[in-house]
Structure 1
């Protein structure tokens, strides 16, 4: 797992600078709930996850919702005291996302209970999006109906691949053949469904990837996410690559697979709206992730969760035991924070908005960027018609080189 960032030590009571209240009424508020439990830890994953055997009393699944309720109470107090309030009469919550780990390793009643605990403290906006990530082998029709009845609106299903040997390399525990059945259960429960795919797994051919994308499309999901595999040094896969047991993903191969998924999804009526995400319509975009990309306010609950409120970023103790102990003692679980200065906020605004279609206005870019934009358009990285209309709109090639363009633009920031 990656080390946590360095930062200042936050107060034990979790209070935030009063500056976070400035303009809070004009910012949306989202909540992220991190559920750190997994049946097995996949070899490629560097997320903050733990198997049941690693955790004892106080830090395991049985104690999770009680600890989370403590953090919900703390967040409500801190937001109110900072002027960024979200209690009765304060800001409404636009989106909630349960991520992990595997949130659906908790029973449906526990997840529904956590959502009830949130509703008891916060006001949800009309039509608020409530998503949970899920592994296909943790779901049943009854489970999904319980979530729908509780107010969940969306399932983000970790399909990853439809090819058995690729799933084995990724240490995924589900059968690819089960995906269509699970997707039908999600739809029958009245929930939107997103299928999450990974490309670039060692040993995955271009035809393997085509098979996976076509299998996902055959399920007619509302939304598709396709992420390039990143081999992290501290993971089991990272060790295997270092030892030569698995090949490192090839950049040209990754580009070919990105171009293929975009071609197949576009041909089926899906449109990209963020570099790694496609949806059937604006109504089926992931509103929670849009909140991240727009640098809105969000509070992250659970071990290792990160938050961002009014230009202040803070993060919780990573291990479930440390998170639990701090909350039980009446303290904030936050162990570090960073107050972002204006140039850093501007760099992050550009970095995130550049990934979204029709999000970044060229007149909001640093002085002197005109020549760079013309160069990017000349190189085929920006849509010239959109540029003429004042939008930074990457082409397919530009999406592959978005980070390169952002680096050059943000170098202009003093």
Structure 2
């Protein structure tokens, strides 16, 4: 019952995250459903759908198909479409109905690959998990399949960006600002996975000296690069001025000693004055900026999607449903809230906390995804002027 929402829409599901991770890479994406899930992704979870080109299809699953389990019908449709579209790969996505009937997506993908000669993936997305899980699984599958095998000598001052989708970073200037900030520090970006990149860059991504994990969905991919290619990673975003310099210093250190690092923060010890709600890495990075650049204490970074213990300190918080978010906002005693505009619906009438709107596409979808809030470098102070700077 905790998962029931009365005020908030459902957050973006796992198949939307997986589709978003693959959107720009020239593959054919097939969502196995009766049109509802495909429409949910293209209409509400993918801002690039209106301006870009991608091969996203619905399998048009019907009641009798579900009852009879006719996988050959799905395979035939995919093969016929592939003959016309010539995709670089084929990706099958699950939805709730195939989950209930136990569709073997891995087996179907293997059959399609053998008969077409085109690389194929079968993702066990269900629509019952959140977007960050689906994106993480898709990113990991990408690098396992397309990254060039075998270790190589890393190229100096090169970096991959791991975990980019519009569900966290919009389609506006955030990614360009991130590229610019790193390039100003002398870093050359090999692969920006998976916005503003392609499969060839992913193949050569193994030459990077270091990986920068910019969202939780990039962490599993970073672990794979470390295990298979011994490429270390840093987790965080260059938000603010002094906090950004701290992150850049971590990149230099990790490139030198090969150790993984995660952007750290102070300890609120339960006395929270400022609460930031959203994706874990983004919230942690904004928190560090408020601590280092603004001198604020008692800043809580609250992850509202899938919990990830590896990115959480002992006193970090999670609020993964409407009830938990509402309780936190109204009972924590905080005086500042940074979060999606829809969270204002959850504030009690007597809650006098100052609210800073930070739209999250995975929460409020198209309602606010054109209202991109800049956070990279000093840009954050254009919308958080009242926080002050030391």
* TM-score, structure 1 normalization: 0.28
Q: Which has the higher strand share?
A: 1
* TM-score, structure 2 normalization: 0.29
